[in-house]
Amino acid sequence: MAATRSSNSKPTKTSEEKFSLAQVFVAFASLPRVFRLVWSASAPMTLILGGLSILRGLTPAVSVSITQVVIDSVIRGIRIHSIAPIWLPVGLQLAVSLVDRVFANANNIVQQLLQDKVLNHTQLMILRKTNTLDLSSFENAEFYDKLQQAATQTNYKPVSMISQTFELMRTTITLVAMLSLLLQLSWWLALVAFILPIPSFIASSKYSWYGYRLMRHEAPERRKMLYINKVMTVDDYNKEIKLFNLGNFFIGRYIGLMTNFYEDGKKILVPRQLNNLLWSSLTVIANSGIYLYVALQAVLGRISLGALSKYTQASIQAGTSFQGILDGVSNVYENALFVNTLFEFLQYVPTIVPPEKPVKVPIQEDSNGLDLEFRDVSFTYPGKTEPTLRHVSFTVRAGESIALVGRNGAGKTTLVKLLTRLYDPDEGEILIGGLNIRNYDFADLRQYVGVIFQDFAKYQMTARENIGIGRVVDIDNLEDVKASASKSGADEVIEGLDEGYESMLGHWFKDGTQLSGGEWQKVALARAFMRDARILILDEPTSALDPQAEYDVFTRFRHLTSGKTAIFISHRFSTVRLADRIFVIEHGDIIESGSHQELMQRDGRYAELFNLQAQAYR
Ligand SMILES: Nc1ncnc2c1ncn2[C@@H]1O[C@H](COP(=O)(O)OP(=O)(O)OP(=O)(O)O)[C@@H](O)[C@H]1O
Ligand SMILES: [Mg+2]
DSSP 111-161: HHHHHHHHHHHHHHHHHHHHHHS-GGGGG-HHHHHHHHHHHHHSSSHHHHH
pLDDT exceeds cutoff 90 at 528: no
Q: Please tell me whether residue 434 adopts helix, strand or coil conformation.
A: coil
pLDDT value of residue 542: 65
Q: Given ligand 1 and candidates 136, 388, 389, which is best to mutate, with the most ligand atoms within 8 Å of its CB?
A: 388
Q: Which domains does the chain have, with CATH numbers?
A: 25-346 (1.20.1560.10), 372-457+534-617 (3.40.50.300)
Q: What angle do CA 511, 514, 520 make, to 5 degrees?
A: 130
Nearest-atom index, ligand 1, CA of 588: 14
Does the beta carbon of 412 lie inside 6 Å of ligand 1?
A: yes
284-318 per-position pLDDT tens digit: 787 788 778 888 988 998 888 888 888 888 877 87
Residue having the nearest C-alpha atom to atom 4 of ligand 1: 381
Residue 382 Cα to ligand 1 midpoint, Å, equals 12
The residue whose CA has the least distance to atom 26 of ligand 1 is: 408
pLDDT (tens digit per residue) in 336-385: 877 888 888 888 888 888 899 999 988 877 677 888 999 999 999 988 89
Q: What is the pLDDT of residues 200-232, one digit of tens each?
A: 777 777 887 888 788 778 878 888 888 898 888
| Ligand 2 centroid – CA 411 distance (Å) | 7
pLDDT of res. 543? 66
Distance 479 CA to ligand 2 centre (A): 32
Quick one: which of 21, 23, 24 has its CA closest to 331? 24
For residue 137 and ligand 1, the question of a CB distance below 6 A is answered with no
CA 413–ligand 2 middle distance (angstroms): 4
* pLDDT confidence band for 517 (50 / 70 / 90): confident
pLDDT at 584: 94
Tell me which of 10-19, 50-59, 145-154 is least confident: 10-19
Q: For ligand 1, is residue 144 a contact (CB within 6 Å)?
A: no
Q: How many CB atoms lie within 10 A of CB 419?
A: 22
For residues 5-30, one letter each, b for 16 or more C-beta atoms within 10 angstroms of the residue's C-beta and e for the rest, the string is: eeeeeeeeeeeeeebeeeebeebeeb
Dist. CA 539 → ligand 2 center (Å): 7
Question: What DSSP state is assigned to residue 97?
Answer: H
Ligand showing the shortest atom-to-Cα distance for residue 141? 1
Residues 6+ apart with CB under 8 A from 101: none
Asked if pLDDT for residue 3 goes beyond 50, the answer is: no
- Tell which wins on pLDDT, 567 or 290: 567
Point out which residues pair with 404 in neighbouring strands. 569, 583
Residue 172 pLDDT level (bands cut at 50, 70, 90) = confident
Closest CA to 158 of 128, 119, 216, 215: 119
CA–CA separation, 172 vs 54, rounded Å?
10
Ligand 2 midpoint to CA 410 (Å): 8
For the chain, give the percent of residues with pLDDT over 90: 25
- Among the ranges given (80-84, 300-304, 530-534, 549-553), the one the predictor scored with the smallest mean pLDDT: 549-553
What HEC string does 506-526 produce? CCCCCCCECCCHHHHHHHHHH
DSSP conformational letter for 505 = B
Ligand 1 in reach of 136 Cβ (< 6 A): no
Q: What is the mean pLDDT of the chain?
A: 84
- Strand 389-396 and strand 535-539: the pairing is unpaired
Q: Whose CA is nearest to atom 13 of ligand 1?
A: 409
Instruction: Average the pLDDT over 113-135 and give the result.
Output: 89
Give me Rg for the CA atoms of the chain.
Answer: 36
Q: Round to whole Å and give the CA distance between 201 and 24.
A: 11
Confidence of residue 17 (pLDDT cuts 50, 70, 90): low
Burial of 523 (0-12, 13-18, 19+ CB in 10 A): buried
Whose C-alpha lies nearest to ligand 1, atom 3?
A: 381
411 CA: nearest ligand 1 atom: 18
| Gap from CA of 455 to ligand 2 centroid (Å) | 9
Question: What is the residue with the minimal CA distance to atom 1 of ligand 1?
Answer: 139
Residue 2 has a pLDDT of 37
CA distance 527 to 169: 57
Instruction: Write out the H or E segment, with its range, that includes residue 594.
Output: strand 589-594
Ligand 1 pocket residue status of 586, Cβ below 6 Å: no
Is residue 138 in contact with ligand 1, taking CB distance under 6 Å? no
Query: 90-116 as b/e, with b when 16 or more CB fall inside 10 Å?
Result: bebbeebeeebeebeebbeebbeebbe
pLDDT of 544 above 70: no
Q: How many C-beta atoms lie closer than 10 Å to residue 516's C-beta?
A: 11
pLDDT reported for residue 11: 37
Establish whether residue 561 lines the binding site of ligand 1, counting it when its CB lies within 6 angstroms of any ligand atom: no
Global pTM reads 0.75
* Single-letter residue type at 30: S
CA angle 389, 391, 397 (to 5 degrees): 95
